[in-house]
Every structure is written in C-alpha cells, then in structure tokens.
Amino acid sequence: MLRTRLYRNGVLESAGFPIADVSDHLEDPAATVWFDLCRPTEEDLAAISEELGLHPLAVEDAVHEHQRPKLDRYDSHLFVTAYAVRLDTGTGMLTTSEVAAFATRNALVTVRKDEDFDIDQVVARWDNSADLAKRGVGFLLYGLLDYVVDGHFDAVQSLDEQIETLEDELFSPGTKDRDMDRRTFELRKSLVMFRRTVLPMREVVNSLLRRDLRVIDDAMQPYFQDVYDHVLRVTEWTESLRDLVSTIRETHLTMQSNRLNVIMKQVTSWAAIIAVPTAVTGFFGQNVPYPGFGTAVGFWESNTIMIVLSAGLFVLFRRKDWV
C-alpha cells in the first residue's frame, strides 16, 4: 500500500508514481516529495533509508509499534511519532493509531503502523491549503500534525460530553452502583491513555517551532503556533477532566457511604421498636404474679404498654428521619 505525491514549485505535479522514481525527483531542489507506507518492514525501508540518509535508530522506531510521541533530530532529517485517537462513545474506550514521519529537506515519508490511520484526511487537508504547498516539507508536516491534533480535540470534547452524562447519572435514582463504577473506570482508563498521548505532543510541536531546526520558515510559523495552541488547550482540558472524574468517583463513594448510614439507622430504629414488645412480653411471661395476672385486664394492660411504647419510639425516630 504505497501512496506518492510530487510538488514542484508549490504545484501538485503528479501522484501515484512508483517509489523507484523518488530518487530522480529528489535531485530537483524545487521538488517536494511525499510518500506513505503502511506496515512496512525494515527491508521495505532499507532502500529509501539509504536514499534519504535515514538514521538506523529512526528506521527501527518507525517499524516497531508503541513508541511514545516524540521528535528526534538527526543530521539529515527529523523523526516524528504521533498518535491519532478515536473515542467509542458507546463504551467509553479509546483507540489509537500510530504514525511516524521522516522529514528531510525536500521529502516527507509517513509510516502508518496500521490501516486505521486515515491518511486520506491528511491528503484532503493538503488539498484544502494548496496555496501553502510552496512552503515544502513544512507545509506537509503541518497538515499531518494538524489532523492529529484536531483528532485529539474531538476526542477530548467527546470525553467531556461523556463525563457530563456521568454527572447526570450520578444523581439519578435509577442508576445502579455497578454500572456507575464500571462507566467511571472505563472513562478514567481512557483519560489515562489519552493523557499519555497528548502530553508529549506539547513538546513535539514546541520543538518544531524552534528556529534553529530550520524546518519551518517564517510563513509557516503562525500555522504551527495555531497547532501548538490547540495542543495546550487539549492538555489543559485533559487535566481538568481527569480531576473531574476523580471527583465524581469520590462523590459516588460518599453517596454510597451516606446511603449505608441511613440504612443502618433504619435497621437500628426498627430493631429498637421491636425490642420494646419483646421486653414487655418477656417480662410478663416470667413465672411470677404481676398486676392483672391471670385476668383479661392484665392482658390488655400489657398490649397497651407495647403499643404505646412502640408508637412513641416510631414517632421519635420519624422526627429524626431515621425511619
């Protein structure tokens, strides 16, 4: 699965050409080449590695999965790793797609670790900003990172909506504790994964803004600054959502504890009410004479005592909202 593009003097000249023609295009200083690989092996990257002078460590990181988002600087190129994210609103689970990129003076090589990374969306962004194509590799790299960071922004917005729903369910009388605990755990897990993806992007974009790297010219600086602002917003939003989920969890535990206290008060109150007739009947059941012993008057006296004392305790506990 190979995709290629050639820009010459800021104009898209050709696309879909064989990778063998890349070396011919790279000889032209007015040309900017992009080609994309999906799930390549080290052997697949060997030819272009020699052609572009890619560092062996960068090639190794491009092939192996689960790299952290980062920007590595080598003599002849930059190596960038980033993650596109998607949130399943039904389950609250977060999925990621890893992409690596080699940026040389006049070439950008993207390496997708799986097919879930929608490279077509990146190409569409390039086409929508064709007037910036004359900025070369900086323009291509901007379109890639802009797509990734916008995906982060959409994901954190979806997470915010999910947490708002969780807040509403927290005080809903029909919500089951087990469902609440499961949903809270899933969202917290997604936030932890999302935070690992987003936080390093702040350093990646900030490093690209450094003028000594000479990848971004003055005309592209505002665009990368806009991406950096989005990264900061997503980072701050993520931190606040993580604190909010922790607060929801603590509030839920407190509500459970309060409900348990109410139940214990109710059980204790009813036990006290039941203890009164038990004590009275136990006392009059002793094998000794008592007022009204063996008469109907004594029977009604004992029943009256039980009813009056039980009713008195019930009224007292009711006023204290214990029953």
Per-residue pLDDT of the chain (323 residues; tens, 9 = 90+): 578 899 998 899 988 888 778 878 888 888 999 999 988 888 888 878 888 888 999 999 998 888 899 999 998 899 999 999 988 877 778 899 999 999 998 999 999 988 889 999 999 999 998 889 999 999 999 999 999 999 999 999 988 888 888 888 877 777 677 777 788 888 888 888 999 999 999 999 998 888 776 668 888 999 999 999 999 999 999 988 888 888 887 877 777 777 777 778 777 877 877 777 777 667 666 555 666 666 777 778 777 877 887 888 788 777 766 66
- Residues 80 and 144 reside in one and the same domain: yes
pLDDT of residue 139: 93
DSSP 205: H
277 and 241, same domain (yes or no): no
Could you say which of 221, 255, 289 is where a domain stops?
255
User: Helix (H, G, I), strand (E, B), or coil: what is residue 217?
Assistant: coil
Are both 180 and 293 inside the same structural domain?
no
The residue type of 16 is G
- Please report, as a single letter, which amino acid is at residue 157: Q
Count the domains in the chain: 2
pLDDT value, residue 167: 81
Are 124 and 17 within one domain? yes
> What are 290's two structure tokens?
């008592």
Residues 212 and 301 in one domain: no
Tokens (6 digits) for 34: 């992009």
Query: Hey, is 212 helix, strand or coil?
Result: helix
Q: Which of 97, 96, 2 is nearest to 45 (CA)?
A: 2
Pairing of strands 78-87, 2-8: unpaired
Same structural domain, 175 and 308: no
Instruction: Report pLDDT for 108.
Output: 94
Do 217 and 267 belong to one domain? Answer: no
User: Measured over all CA atoms, what is the biggest interatomic distance in the chain, rounded to whole angstroms?
Assistant: 121
Alpha helices, DSSP H only, in the chain?
A: 22-26, 42-52, 56-63, 119-128, 137-170, 177-208, 221-284, 296-319
Give the Å distances, CA to CA, from 305 to 69, 128, 230, 279, 284.
78, 89, 75, 11, 11
Q: Kindly state the DSSP code that residue 67 receives in the 8-state scheme.
A: P
Report the C-alpha gap between 315 and 323 in whole angstroms.
Answer: 9
Domain containing 291: what range? 263-319
For 282, list phi and psi in degrees, rounded to 5.
Answer: -65, -40
CA torsion 139→142→148→153, rounded to 10°?
-130
Are 277 and 199 members of one domain?
no
DSSP 115-175: TTS-HHHHHHHHHHTGGGGGGTHHHHHHHHHHHHHHHHHHHHHHHHHHHHHHHHHHT-TT-
Query: Same domain, yes or no, for 208 and 309?
Result: no
CATH code for position 110 = 3.30.460.20
Q: Which of 230, 255, 280 is the last residue of a domain?
A: 255
Closest alpha carbon to 214 in 126, 134, 138: 138
Question: Do 187 and 154 share a domain, yes or no?
Answer: yes
pLDDT at 257: 76
Residues 97, 100, 103, 108, Cα dihedral to 10° = -60
**Residue 172 shares a structural domain with residue 296:** no
Q: Please give the structure tokens belonging to residue 276.
A: 């009164």
Domain end, chosen from 255, 279, 295, is at 255
Asked whether residue 140 falls in the same domain as residue 211, the answer is yes
